[in-house]
């Protein structure tokens, strides 16, 4: 089994996509952090971000990394669909005819890659958020704040989004369709349901809402405070989605004719 996981990791790391995705993710998280730094404490239509030297601001800034989920999900989609696109699935199943093992290996590899991306984004946040707070005269105690919980949330979220991508990829098999579906899901559907308070009753059950709950991000965006699930329930919902997508990947792959 460990050989199969290493084979899956090798597939990813012997092509160029992974570091392009990593770079784009860090750039986007960086842009988001830039806005948070620029608009900290600035009053906008009555609602204001906390000031840069507060622990509250640090927590909001620290949660930026969760937006990296989409990139990990795309990576998961590609891990699955490039096998069909380039027909390498034939060689994969010749080497490992028991297809469920291949899916398990892909899921484990996806979790590892997602976690790796999470670590990268956490390091990136540490070197931007900590100086931003301290240079503004604030003090940041990593252990006293909710930052450890948010960090764990980012780790779990990114790891599981890779699995969502693998499941989605196995379902649609077409690479472009899979990536478009992932982007539409993460940027449109989830944003609508988690961004509009009236829709939170649905949104809190979606992966994005569950991820927010896990990190206990309950910032008032000017539209009212969101009502997320408790953190433990958010984690359970996320893991549930992970299992669901892994099951979808297995069910759609095991018996299909490879022609």
Partner 1 sequence: MAAIEIRNLVKSFGPVKAVDGVSFSVEAGSVTGYLGPNGAGKTTTLRCLLGLVTPDSGEALVNGERYVALSDPAAEVGAVLEATSFHPGRTARNHLRILCTAAGLPDTRADEALEQVGLADAAGKRVGGFSLGMRQRLALASALLGRPRVYILDEPANGLDPAGIEWLRGFLRHLAHDQGAAVLVSSHVLAEVERTVDDVVIIAKGHLVRQGSLAELTSDGADAVRVRAAQAADLVPALEAAGGAVERVEDGLLRVRGLDPEAVGRIALERRVALTEVAQERSGLHKVFLDLTEGR
Q: Least distance in Å: CB of 219 to partner 1?
A: 41
Q: Least distance in Å: CB of 1 to partner 1?
A: 11
Query: Which of 12-20, 36-44, 128-136, 140-148 is the region at the interface with partner 1 (rule: CB under 8 A)?
Result: 12-20
User: How many Cβ atoms sit within 10 Å of the Cβ of residue 13?
Assistant: 12
Rounded alpha-carbon distances, angstroms, from residue 199 to 222, 227, 228: 15, 10, 11
List 127, 137, 141, 255, residue binding partner 1 (CB under 8 A): 255
Under the binding rule (CB under 8 A), the answer on residue 1 touching partner 1 is no
Helices in 40-98 by DSSP H: which ranges? 55-62, 69-85, 88-95
Q: Least distance in Å: CB of 249 to partner 1?
A: 18
Q: Least distance in Å: CB of 244 to partner 1?
A: 25
Binding string, 96-135, against partner 1, x = CB under 8 A?
xxx-------------------------------------
**Closest CB to partner 1 among residues 105, 154:** 105
Kind plus residue range of the DSSP H or E element containing 175: helix 175-183
59: nearest Cα among 155, 133, 159, 135: 133
Two structure tokens written together for 42 = 């600035």
Helices in 136-189 by DSSP H: which ranges? 147-172, 175-183
Under the binding rule (CB under 8 A), the answer on residue 90 touching partner 1 is yes
12: nearest Cα among 90, 121, 88: 88
Two structure tokens written together for 192 = 């609508």
Q: Least distance in Å: CB of 180 to partner 1?
A: 21
Interface residue list for partner 1 (CB under 8 A): 3-4, 6-7, 10-11, 14-16, 82, 86-88, 90-98, 255, 257-259
């Amino acid at each position: 089994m460990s050989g199969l996981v290493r084979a899956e990791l090798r597939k990813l790391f012997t092509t160029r996509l992974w570091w392009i995705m990593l770079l784009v993710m860090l750039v986007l998280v960086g842009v988001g952090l830039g806005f948070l730094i620029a608009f900290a404490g600035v009053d906008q239509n009555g609602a204001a971000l906390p000031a840069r030297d507060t622990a509250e601001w640090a927590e909001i800034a620290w949660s930026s990394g969760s937006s990296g989920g989409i990139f990990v999900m795309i990576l998961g989609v590609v891990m699955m669909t490039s096998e069909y696109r380039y027909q390498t699935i034939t060689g994969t199943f010749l080497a490992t005819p028991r297809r469920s093992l291949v899916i398990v290996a892909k899921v484990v590899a996806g979790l590892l890659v997602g976690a790796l991306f999470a670590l990268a984004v956490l390091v990136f946040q540490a070197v931007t958020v900590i100086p931003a707070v301290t240079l503004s005269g604030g003090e940041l105690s990593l252990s006293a704040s909710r930052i450890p919980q948010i960090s764990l949330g980012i780790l779990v979220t990114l790891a599981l989004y890779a699995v969502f991508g693998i499941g989605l990829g196995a379902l649609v098999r077409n690479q472009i369709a899979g990536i478009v579906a992932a982007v539409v899901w993460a940027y449109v559907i989830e944003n609508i349901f988690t961004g509009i308070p009236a829709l939170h009753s649905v949104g809190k059950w979606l992966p994005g809402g569950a991820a927010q709950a896990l990190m206990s991000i309950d910032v008032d965006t000017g539209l009212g405070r969101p009502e997320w699930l408790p953190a433990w329930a958010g984690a359970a919902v996320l893991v549930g989605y992970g299992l669901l997508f892994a099951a979808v990947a297995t069910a759609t792959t095991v018996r299909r004719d490879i022609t």
